[in-house]
Chains A and B, each alone.
Chain A
């Protein structure tokens, strides 16, 4: 499929896009101010991938997944370099409760807990956020995460440990507030 895309097959690239759209969206989500910007940036990432695939035909893509994450990482850095960062509204996720929910109290509790979790993730520093999202949201292995971030697997484990500890601290602080 990658070869077909590299030869200019838009539909093959469309298939790759559908496969990786959501994980890449999740990866950039916490790094941009609004969900709409995350959507735009996701599209731009794939457009850039297409340009690179087609324009630089001698590019050897051995691992498309790691490569597309790498582009996502670089474009997110570019995004911040060119655009003054804006503090994200503490998560717009999980803000609404369905009126027909069977157990509204549990639903409210769940939403509050999710809001608090998202707030805590947003507070994490960039590298911690990356590891949390790649490992626990996108389900990448330690080795894959290391490849995407360009660091050693051992470093991923240490960052993972520190990120979870930090997350726990933020969650506890939020519970006390």
Chain B
């Protein structure tokens, strides 16, 4: 007899036990040809039912809800704070427009939405009509140069019309460009300008994290391939920033008092940027980056899986109690599957066989 048929008999026995409250013996007797095997398997199920189930510690349970609600509130507050502080940047306009179109929030007045677009179009017109050459010249500008704001503005504008995936790619390119700019500034000894570059880097990083929060996970909470790729690239950013930090430390002894002060400030900010990039890497689940392994999705049961009609068993007898004999019958009221979303807290925790949950 195949696994398929035996598994069907076993399933029938289990459903019958749940329905009638009968024990393994009575259930297995319904299939005399496989009584022995079914009886032992059903006994194992009984053992599972009666066993102590894993349960969170009392310490965790007592604070779990408050902890989660606090984390959610903190995230909401942080998101709102971020919206307020960034409300004047062009990138915010881009983000709020995208979020607005996704969430269709009633709190964002249509007029503001329209004004944002008018502003963007005005900026594009002014740059391209009045200064195509300026726009071109700004591409080589470094933080602290007079054309640098034009360069960043153009970069931000490019993202206005792009898809989320394209945005992520462009933001990542900007992060790498920021680091390259800072490396060049370090070569030229323009240390105070590196601070401007770092500010731009952090602003881009924040935008990247917001984008990842939005598109980094699919509806089932699984990381998207885009997010995995971004994480790898952010690791490269961390490495480059660390290299820059080391490079700047070796220049430390060459500076005057004023420059030393700037350098101290710069080292602090760099450390902050490194930490922020690293935190960005572990965004989402509270996990540290590690080595991937081979674990994957459940892959079914391989060869011999059931594919055809499932019910080949004789129909159950009309009265579900007729199979119960003597001690094998459970005196408790019969019940179906215990878990029901309609029940109150903890309704899920019971075990059919009476084993309570809770860790000693």
Contact = CB atoms under 8 A, between A and B. Distances in A.
A and B: interacting chains: yes
A49 B221 contact: yes
Interface string A32-62: 0001001111111111111110011111000
Contacts of B223: 74, 78
A27 B178 CA distance: 44
Interface residues of B, number: 86
Interface string B183-226: 00000000000000000000000000000011001011111000
B56 A39 contact: yes
A154 B3 CA distance: 11
A168 B46 CA distance: 12
B206 to A, nearest CB: 16
Nearest to B67: A43
A160 B11 contact: yes
Contacts of A83: 287-288, 290
Contacts of A82: 285, 287-290, 292
- Chain B at the A interface: SS class: loop
Given A83-B290, A158-B301, A22 B306 contact: no
A107 B245 CA distance: 61
B61 to A, nearest CB: 8
Given A67-B220, A137-B53, A139-B351, A161 B3 contact: yes
Contact of B52 (A46, A85, A93): A93
Interface in B285-329: 285-293, 295-301, 304-307, 310
A119 to B, nearest CB: 12
A13 B72 contact: yes
A81 B284 CA distance: 14
A176 interface: no
B253 interface: no
A35 B57 contact: yes
A149 interface: yes
Interface string B1-27: 001101110110011000000000000
Contacts of B360: 93-96, 98
A19 B347 contact: yes
Contact of B300 (A11, A78, A155): A155
A69 B135 CA distance: 52
Given A47-B68, A160-B7, A71 B221 contact: yes
Nearest to B309: A154
Interface residues of A, number: 94
A14 to B, nearest CB: 5
A93 B53 CA distance: 9
B348 to A, nearest CB: 4
**A13, A47, A113, A130: most-surrounded residue (chain B CB, <10 A):** A47
Contacts of A67: 220
A147 interface: no
A78 B64 CA distance: 22
Nearest to B295: A80
Contacts of A14: 65, 68-69
A42 B56 contact: yes
B285 A78 contact: yes
A75 to B, nearest CB: 6
A164 B44 contact: yes
A155 B301 CA distance: 6
A39 B337 CA distance: 25
B73 interface: yes
Contacts of A155: 300-301, 305-306
Contacts of A138: 339, 348
A129 to B, nearest CB: 10
23 contacts: A18-B345, A20-B348, A22-B55, A23-B339, A30-B54, A43-B71, A48-B221, A51-B213, A52-B221, A56-B102, A65-B339, A77-B297, A94-B52, A114-B51, A117-B47, A138-B348, A139-B338, A140-B337, A141-B336, A150-B298, A151-B300, A154-B306, A154-B307
Given A19-B341, A35-B57, A144-B337, 7 more contacts: A15-B345, A18-B346, A19-B346, A22-B349, A81-B295, A127-B298, A157-B310
Interface of A: 8, 10-11, 13-15, 17-23, 25-26, 29-30, 35, 38-52, 55-59, 64-65, 67, 70-71, 73-75, 77-85, 93-96, 98, 113-114, 117-118, 126-127, 130, 132, 136-142, 144, 149-155, 157-162, 164-165, 167-168, 171
